[in-house]
Amino acid sequence: MAAVASRSSMVGALLRTATPSHRHLVLDFLQGLSRNELECLAEFQGSCVLEQEFSVACHPYRLMADFFDPSVSERWRNPDDRAHKMFIVLAYLDILQGSISIRFERRSFNNA
């Protein structure tokens, strides 16, 4: 029997992957997703965690090809669904990357 997570527990778990100061951006994104899309993100995030246990150089963007490979899982046989879910994961990763703090150094534009 498969365990079924509630929508709020999936949002909460995925929200914890964002930096605290940008969680509102991630929450806005997650609240607009369907349960099926949230399940896909949760599975992808889980696979990233598992891969990081065994690989020092694991990067989520590199993992996407294996995760969405239709020869590995029958759930990705439908190319339209696969493309849609890949877009969702890419958008999620983009939002997470945008939530990373970046420091800017002030420099003068004068070369004199």
What single-letter DSSP state applies at residue 101? -
Q: d(Cα 45, Cα 15) in Å, to the nearest integer?
A: 11
Distance (Å, rounded) from C-alpha 41 to C-alpha 39?
5
Give the per-residue pLDDT at 19. Answer: 85
Whether residue 106 has pLDDT greater than 60: no
List, for residues 26-79, the tens digit of each pLDDT value: 999 999 999 999 999 999 998 988 888 887 667 888 889 999 999 988 889 999
Q: Which amino acid is at 74?
A: E
What is the rounded average pLDDT of the residues 96-102? Answer: 60
Alpha helix segments (H runs only) across the chain: 7-15, 23-31, 35-54, 60-67, 79-98
Question: What predicted TM-score, i.e. pTM, was given to this entire model?
Answer: 0.77
**pLDDT at position 39, please?**
94
Provide CB contacts within 8 A for 38, sequence distance 6+: 7, 10, 11, 14, 30
Q: What is the pLDDT of residue 101?
A: 45
**pLDDT range class, residue 4, cuts 50, 70, 90:** low
Please, what's the b/e burial string for 69-104 (b: 16 or more CB within 10 A of its CB; e: otherwise)?
eeeeeeebeeeeebeebbebbeebbebbeebeeeee
pLDDT, residue 104, reads 47
